[in-house]
């Protein structure tokens, strides 16, 4: 299995790149989806959270009350640590299982917080989608209808552009959609070659 990790800051264009690569018969594993699966109704993760915080952490339909959970971990570092210790290994194990089950020539692992959560070790190659921070802020405001201050606060909470670029094996700049599509075509060819030579060695 050859794993290309795709990351980038908020509104940099990860989904746009992932959608382009998905059209090329490449499987995607999405860390955001996995993070939801490990706390879905009936999961071991949700059962442990409910035992730890009490049943009031569940909504009437039995699903996780994410707003309440966010409040509990925001106001208490011990709770935050407990939750990370529970969920991070579960997420990592499930990501590995989904990667192992993938049969495409390479697999795209989409992880918004790849750098922040130290998941680069799961990847053979790290692709960073990069744009100027001002562009990230403008696209976040336009898409999520948040204030400039809120958009800036989200950027501040993530790894800096420099930190992310320091972990990159490849970088794709997302200023223009057509240029992005052309660059992704070229990167896809490169990933096919890298995956083939990894198998050969």
For the CB of residue 9, give the shortest distance to ligand ATP in the complex, in Å: 7
Does residue 22 touch ligand ATP according to CB under 6 A? no
> Of 46 and 95, which CB lies nearer to ligand ATP in the complex structure?
95
Among 36, 52, 80, 143, binds ligand ATP (CB under 6 A): 143
State yes or no: residue 14 binds ligand ATP (CB under 6 A).
yes
The answer to whether the CB of 109 falls within 8 A of the CB of 5 is yes
Residue 2's nearest CA partner among 201, 195, 168 is 195
Q: Which two tokens stand for residue 64?
A: 């996780």
Instruction: Go through the chain and tell me how many residues it has.
Output: 201
Among the listed ranges 12-20, 72-80, 86-94, 155-163, the one in contact with ligand ATP (CB under 6 A) is 12-20
Backbone angles phi, psi at 179, to 5 degrees: -60, -40
β-pair type (125-130, 3-7):
parallel
Checking DSSP bridges between strand 170-173 and strand 27-30, what pairing results, if any? Answer: unpaired
Asked if residues 113 and 158 have their Cβ atoms less than 8 Å apart, the reply is yes
Name which position in 3, 6, 11, 83 contacts ligand ATP (CB under 6 A). 11
Check residue 8 for interaction with ligand ATP (CB under 6 A). Answer: yes
- Binding segment (CB under 6 A) for ligand ATP, from list 4-12, 34-42, 118-126, 185-193: 4-12
Site of interaction with ligand ATP (CB under 6 A):
8, 10-16, 112, 139, 143, 174, 176-177, 180
């Amino acid at each position: 299995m050859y794993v290309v990790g795709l990351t980038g800051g908020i509104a940099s264009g990860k989904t746009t790149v992932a959608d382009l690569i998905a059209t090329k018969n490449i499987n995607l594993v999405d860390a955001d989806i996995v993070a939801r699966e490990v706390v879905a109704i009936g999961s071991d993760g949700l059962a442990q959270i409910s035992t730890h915080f009490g049943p009031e952490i569940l909504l009437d339909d039995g699903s996780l009350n994410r707003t309440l959970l966010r409040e509990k971990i925001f106001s208490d570092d011990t709770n935050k640590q407990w939750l990370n210790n529970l969920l991070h290994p579960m997420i990592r194990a499930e990501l590995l299982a989904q990667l192992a089950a993938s049969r495409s020539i390479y697999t795209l692992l989409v992880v918004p917080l790849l750098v922040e959560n130290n998941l680069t070790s799961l990847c053979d190659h790290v692709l960073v989608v990069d744009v100027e921070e001002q562009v990230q802020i403008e696209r976040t405001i336009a898409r999520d209808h948040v204030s400039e201050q809120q958009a800036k606060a989200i950027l501040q909470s993530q790894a800096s552009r420099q930190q992310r670029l320091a972990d990159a094996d490849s970088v794709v700049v997302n200023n223009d959609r057509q240029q992005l599509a052309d660059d992704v075509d070229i990167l896809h060819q490169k990933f096919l070659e890298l995956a083939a030579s990894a198998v050969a060695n």
